[in-house]
Structure 1
């Protein structure tokens, strides 16, 4: 076949020829790569201008891949058969060096091997040099065989790569993200040396991949990317969906340092309708943010699932829209996402560590967002949504969605270690609805640096009682014996974590049960017998752009969603059960279960581990 590998080497080099070790074959700051990155940024600016003119954002297929569809120029060099690239959104490869090449047979043998040493770029202007996220591509031309990669400058001490996680791989020849396509994955302290000796602060992620098809383009990422363009395209799709656009308005919170619009989505029943009486009625607000840390891609997938639920036809979603006003900021750190940062903004600042006192010049997005939440908490109309008309009556709940690089499952962090046990009801309800959420991983402690985070500042300064960070693992649910392949957090599965949060809101606020109907509410009756017997789509439209969780087909394929719980639990019952087990105060579950603390997560990085260590040594019984 034309796309099968028959050649094991590049035309520029025989397979048996040994290259000079550590020959640089890619540099992010090379003129060619910089030109391509400038082209990408110029395209974003152009699309932003069209969006302001009322034209929708170009919509790609989010199930495919978030990278440019037009091929970049091919180049054959003597630096090896693979061509690296990282000029697309979220890309962050700094350099690639050819460390070795060999062939097990004559020229053209498909068993040739290549080895590359990679560096990922540190966050823009970051003094700490955060390196955790990675995303790059290779083109193989005529080469087929094994390729060994090692990224030698990752900063996290603990990683799920030590527990079985693998890099994701996407092939143009097989267009889907594969979570288990690599071999020999390991994560350990780097042995790279500099003038000061051993670099103990860096870690190496190493893996191998076998290329089986000629003229392919392969993408490697820490998790399937969710780009700024994907978010804008998704919101444009919602605006063109008749069932959704009636109930939401897309506004601009502010501009980032890089002058990109930061979108804000306001949701309430009939928000676009000319019903002055309905708009005049003030509703309590729920504020949801995501993607403060660009490398925590699962936050974007979770908030997309939540939006698909909130704007869908599930009866509980309609009741929520009728009773509450939702303000959703789906991507806070837009600059960091575009430029492939792990944690920081273009100013080199972790946005979730400046909420206590944001600077309008250095931290414009957090400054605007904090003022927005303050206005809502005071019952005022924020400047960004003055044209919407819907009034808020305080902030009832604040949710900040993040990703976790070292722990399994999804879980919540609260803001007050002495809070009443009622503060644990919402996390507990979510864990009962979806087994991917683990209540035993939750805690309410806040170390000194966490008192600068969104959840704590919103709780402390604005008096929002229910203020949480939700963490979602980049890998899998807490081990239940089913194996990682069964519990792996694909983007689709993470979207249903967002749906579980939506169901939890409905049950917690006691607006409606999330009952699952006996039959699909939209399927054509003429096709019902065929559909039930064959699992075909038939006339069912409950799992399109919008989700209707009352349809038995939608949740029937997702056994981790506890459908029998949705029409039986109440907040009062959950509170009664928590009181019986834990008493009047929220529990320190990490202590009770002998679990780890934050472990290098988004909301408690390695610096926070160092902060806690001396305190724990001097006071073993300390709870915070």
Structure 2
């Protein structure tokens, strides 16, 4: 007798589903796993469904969501990946689902360390899915997955791209900033132009701020994926790097004008294990920037150490951006820091405040204005510059205060979509939380990657008269440090940790399985035929990293992976 029920699986990289309960013939209640070492942060889901029938409307109810609001009530749909479609040449994630809704249910929320006497309950995200093929194997996800495996694959591709033929030679270096709690290497990328002094002088226009000495170029420091479920931030970084390493004139100018330091995944453990927000320590890493622990928050600790090194060399970044995803608002927008919108009154302990009666340095507002002009998905009207007390320990505010970075931002990309596109005027009377959804304008990786490329264009447009003087000041008022010290981070980053190279199969065996899960190897394995998380890649270590990696990883056969 054939099975009359669906089968579920989530024990693969980024997967999250704890339990499925069949409540009717074609309806299932689903329970998500909380972030490891917590009882909360229930939002990200990613699981496999098998034994499906076509022509049937299956209803899925995720009954332990936490947030009181969701874009599921404003037109957002979950993501569907069909293995059958992939085998037939269409390996794409698609928005799918009808009768999508989000509402408060009657299940009491589990609370630790807080009173639950207020009767707080969970919320239900519900949707119907009609699968395209009988007997198909499909994946459902909250957003387009971007795995740690995919990041390593992309890094190998970026290395090849940088090594290719370029009109402007590219300096591209990948290093391991540190290892995570589960001993996964955390890559940091350094990108700039590799032109010689004389070549740079010949290429620079009379009005250009390009410097002939690479070690004097100002820094742009970018981080992403501190919250593991915010995969949209990784797609923005991918698009930014694809463009930055190209021969496009804006990319060439950006490389000649700046040094880019990029930490593309601050929370690889959370990404691998399917967490939504926290690290293995059960903590929100974006609330640990004031005093990160070397042992519990090593990725934040070492990222901050690198920023401290630059600051000690009088090379604090010209721009710092931490990329995030937003679940309750549309569009892409940013948060900055204004001393006149701060919880402190007066707020003088920051680089933006000019002094009594002198106001503030307004240059931090320029980026939003430029992006509003050139990026269709960006909404300046959604940008805020408030510094709340609760945000003092976030990257944006800590970097602003401690390292004197006037242009310190958080950039948020909606999981859902946009309320305006080029040629469509913004409705100043509508709220981004309730504005009518524009049909067909749900964002996908193409839109997110396009925004990453548009950011590069914005960076080179930033130097208005005021910002141009700031850049030139950064160039001239720096110690005459060796180029290698400035580019590579100084002595503490030239030996330990060592560079990342790519020669062996992907390794994920440091993934800790959830309670009740099978062994580590099976928990981190991906489907043997086609899996939608990333592409096949290889990883190996050498020098001082090899010993640590040999303890934390074991060989695994190469996996064929496809992503849309």
TM-score by length of 2: 0.68
Distance 1:366 1:281 in 2: 25
Structure 2 residue runs of 5 or longer lacking an equivalent are 111-115, 200-210, 341-359, 425-435, 468-564
Distance 1:194 1:430 in 2: 40
**Partner residue of 2:32?**
120
In our comparison, the structure showing a higher alpha carbon Rg is 1
- Structure 2 vs 1, CA of residues 271 and 100 (structure 1 numbering), >3 Å: closer, same or farther? farther
CA contact (8 A) 2:307 2:316 kept: no
Match of 1:84 among 2, 5, 8: 8
**Partner residue of 1:130?**
41
- For the pair 1:309 / 2:243, whether they are aligned, the reply is yes
Give 1:479 shift: 4.6
Distance 2:181 2:132 in 1: 43
Distance 1:447 1:115 in 2: 43
SS at match of 1:505: helix
CA contact (8 A) 2:316 2:403 kept: no
- For the pair 1:451 / 2:375, whether they are aligned, the reply is no
Give 1:83 shift: 1.3
- Structure 2 vs 1, CA of residues 240 and 170 (structure 1 numbering), >3 Å: closer, same or farther? same
Distance 2:284 2:241 in 1: 26
SS at match of 2:226: coil
**Partner residue of 1:250?**
174
- Structure 2 vs 1, CA of residues 454 and 271 (structure 1 numbering), >3 Å: closer, same or farther? farther
Give 1:173 shift: 1.8
**Partner residue of 2:70?**
159
Give 1:510 shift: 5.8
Give 1:194 shift: 8.1
Give 1:180 shift: 3.8
Give 1:207 shift: 0.7
Give 1:443 shift: 0.7
CA contact (8 A) 1:81 1:143 kept: no
- For the pair 1:349 / 2:315, whether they are aligned, the reply is no
**Partner residue of 2:451?**
497
Give 1:377 shift: 2.1
Give 1:278 shift: 6.8
CA contact (8 A) 2:376 2:420 kept: no
Distance 1:463 1:493 in 2: 32
**Partner residue of 1:140?**
51
CA contact (8 A) 1:283 1:325 kept: yes
User: Which whole-Å deviations, capped at 9, do the CAs of 1:54-109 have from their partners, x for residues lacking one?
Assistant: xxxxxxxxxxxxxxxxxxxxxxxxxx4311010111101011111111xxxxxxxx
Match of 1:222 among 142, 157, 162: 142
User: Which whole-Å deviations, capped at 9, do the CAs of 1:407-445 have from their partners, x for residues lacking one?
Assistant: 010111002242433221111101111121010000110
Match of 1:170 among 76, 81, 84: 81
Distance 2:54 2:96 in 1: 18
Distance 2:236 2:214 in 1: 31
User: Which whole-Å deviations, capped at 9, do the CAs of 1:323-365 have from their partners, x for residues lacking one?
Assistant: 2110001111100100111110011010100101101111111
Give 1:314 shift: 1.5
Match of 2:406 among 460, 465, 483: 465
Distance 2:68 2:226 in 1: 21
User: Which whole-Å deviations, capped at 9, do the CAs of 1:17-51 have from their partners, x for residues lacking one?
Assistant: xxxxxxxxxxxxxxxxxxxxxxxxxxxxxxxxxxx
Match runs of 1:133-532 below 5 Å: 133-140=44-51, 145-175=56-86, 176-192=91-107, 200-241=120-161, 242-243=164-165, 246-270=170-194, 281-379=215-313, 393-418=315-340, 419-479=360-420, 484-509=438-463
Give 1:212 shift: 3.9
CA contact (8 A) 1:243 1:312 kept: no
CA contact (8 A) 1:119 1:151 kept: yes
SS at match of 2:392: helix
Give 1:308 shift: 1.1
Distance 1:217 1:199 in 2: 39
TM-score by length of 1: 0.62
CA contact (8 A) 2:74 2:437 kept: no
Distance 1:140 1:169 in 2: 15
Distance 1:143 1:268 in 2: 51
Distance 1:192 1:455 in 2: 36
Regions of 4+ moved over 6 Å: 194-199, 277-280
CA contact (8 A) 1:12 1:81 kept: no
Give 1:199 shift: 6.2
Distance 1:478 1:507 in 2: 25
**Partner residue of 2:496?**
none
**Partner residue of 1:36?**
none
SS at match of 1:123: coil
If asked which structure has higher relative contact order (CA below 8 Å, sep 6+), I would say 2
- Structure 2 vs 1, CA of residues 174 and 126 (structure 1 numbering), >3 Å: closer, same or farther? same
**Partner residue of 1:97?**
21
